[in-house]
């Protein structure tokens, strides 16, 4: 009994180490025809995941703030009602994952939620992507906002074309 409990605690510690050290992985892509020197203003595209509305959830607000900050740091500004040079769109996807730890006599399975955030800058006329960043990592299962949102967006835009 004690051996099983110790084994279970070791497996849990292993999972927490795995998840705690789980880095956010980021990838980006730029359209060969994108000319960012001609773009100055942006507006947010209503999110189809939110039935065509802007996402006003706390996590959505964090995403908006982080992306706004990243864009403004690169010299872009909100269109403020004027036609924007590009639109900002994003999607969030979560997926349940599991990890199995253990040995011959004791196997433990731990479940966690893997989240993906995709941010796209879109040409408002052609609707073609100009740039896309994707971040993936372990997220809070309750969907609560976390510092990883800011970190993920910063990592994405670190790869933004100059």
Radius of gyration of the chain (CA): 20
Rounded CA-CA distance 33/154 in Å is 24
**What is the CATH classification number for the domain harbouring 60?**
3.30.160.670
What's the pLDDT at 112? Answer: 77
Q: What is the pLDDT of residues 11-20, one digit of tens each?
A: 333 333 344 4
What's the pLDDT at 59? Answer: 79
Domain, as residue range, for 67: 2-158
Of 123 and 14, more confident: 123
Give the number of domains in the chain.
1
Residue closest to 69 by CA, chosen among 155, 159, 150, 134: 150
Q: Kindly state the tokens that stand for 136.
A: 């993936």
Of 8 and 75, more confident: 75
Q: What is the pLDDT of residues 127-161, one digit of tens each?
A: 999 999 999 887 766 555 566 888 899 999 998 99
pLDDT above 90 (res 125)? yes
Under a CB-based contact definition with an 8 Å cutoff, are residues 115 and 144 in contact?
Answer: no
pTM of the predicted protein model:
0.74
CA atoms within 13 A on the CB side of 40: 4
pLDDT, averaged across the chain: 80
pLDDT confidence band for 57 (50 / 70 / 90): confident
């Amino acid at each position: 009994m004690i051996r099983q409990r110790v084994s279970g605690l070791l497996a849990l510690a292993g999972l927490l180490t795995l998840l705690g050290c789980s880095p956010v992985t980021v990838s980006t892509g730029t359209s060969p025809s994108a000319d960012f020197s001609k773009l100055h203003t942006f507006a947010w595209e209503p999110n189809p995941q939110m039935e065509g509305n802007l996402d006003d959830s706390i996590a959505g607000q964090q995403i908006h703030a982080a992306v706004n900050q990243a864009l403004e740091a690169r010299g872009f500004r909100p269109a403020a009602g004027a036609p924007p040079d590009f639109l900002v769109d994003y999607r969030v996807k979560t997926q349940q994952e599991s990890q199995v730890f253990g040995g011959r006599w004791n196997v433990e399975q731990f479940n966690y939620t893997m989240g993906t955030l995709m941010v796209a800058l879109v040409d408002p006329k052609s609707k073609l992507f100009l740039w896309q960043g994707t971040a993936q990592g372990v997220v809070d299962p309750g969907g609560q906002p976390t510092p990883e949102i800011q970190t993920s967006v910063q990592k994405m835009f670190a790869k933004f074309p100059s």
